[in-house]
């Protein structure tokens, strides 16, 4: 995408107050398709319900959860506006959406149905509520949720609330950044020996039975638990 076209799109977005809903959705879709949106995060959304499921988006438009992580559960979260994000399946290239009945599905085009409000909860989990769809009589929001069998729940269900575990998702980002976090225990007698001088020839090692057991180097790895 060239710079003049990007400036034109930004100018059109600044006039969003006079644009129709279809025109505004088209311009936002162009920005998403060209990779011009900000705050991109790639990872998985882990739901703590049942045995724990990763939200996954299928190429045929289905949305459900999988206990084991797989390519379908790799998602890209990007910011649309302050507190509002979009969720796209990296493998399926489809966007998570919620229709006017509260059913979750995936679509090829980014529309207003694909906008979700991300909120950080006190238990370090996040909730994702539809921006445009909710109960207009009571004002109750409709959330992205999975049941204990890993199936997508209806956001319009009275049981789907922000306090329920079915709506709690833990973002697991930076999947490709693997850092080695651990510590090593070595023999103190080996640490006391000074390093040999470069001009000094190496001294051959002679095995001597001193009655001490040879202690191998042991590495300890911390375990992290979520949920």
State pLDDT tens for residues 6-52.
Answer: 555 555 545 444 445 454 444 444 444 444 445 789 999 999 999 99
Q: How confident is the model at residue 107 (pLDDT cuts 50, 70, 90)?
A: very high
Q: Which residue has the tokens 């959330």?
A: 143
Q: How confident is the model at residue 172 (pLDDT cuts 50, 70, 90)?
A: very high
Sequence-separated (6 or more) residues with CB below 8 Å from residue 211: none
State pLDDT tens for residues 113-138.
Answer: 999 999 999 888 999 999 999 998 88
For residue 153, pLDDT over 50 is answered with yes
Sequence-separated (6 or more) residues with CB below 8 Å from residue 74: 42, 43, 44, 89, 90, 91, 175
Mean pLDDT of 162-178: 80
CB of 111 closer than 8 Å to CB of 97:
yes
Q: Which residue has the tokens 């789907």?
A: 160
Domains along the sequence of the chain with CATH: 36-172 (2.80.10.50)
In three-state secondary structure terms, 43 is: strand
């Amino acid at each position: 995408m060239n710079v003049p076209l990007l400036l034109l799109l930004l100018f059109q977005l600044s006039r969003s107050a006079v644009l129709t809903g279809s025109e505004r959705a088209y311009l936002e879709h162009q920005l998403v398709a060209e990779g011009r949106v900000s705050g991109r995060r790639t990872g998985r959304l882990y739901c703590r319900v049942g045995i724990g499921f990763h939200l996954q988006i299928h190429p045929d438009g289905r949305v459900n959860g999988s206990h084991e992580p797989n390519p379908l559960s790799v998602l890209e979260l990007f910011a649309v506006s302050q507190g509002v994000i979009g969720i796209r399946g990296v493998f399926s290239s489809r966007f998570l959406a919620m229709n006017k009945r509260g059913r979750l599905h995936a679509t090829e085009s980014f529309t207003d149905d694909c906008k979700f409000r991300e909120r950080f909860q006190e238990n370090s989990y996040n909730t994702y509520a539809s921006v445009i769809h909710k109960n207009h009589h009571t004002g109750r929001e409709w959330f992205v949720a999975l049941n204990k069998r890993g199936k997508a729940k209806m956001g319009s269900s009275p049981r789907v609330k922000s306090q329920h575990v079915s709506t709690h998702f833990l973002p697991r980002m930076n999947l490709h950044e693997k850092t080695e976090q651990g510590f090593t225990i070595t023999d103190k007698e080996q640490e006391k020996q000074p390093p040999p001088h470069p001009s000094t020839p190496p001294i051959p090692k002679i095995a001597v039975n001193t009655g001490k057991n040879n202690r191998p180097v042991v590495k300890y790895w911390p375990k992290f638990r979520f949920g």
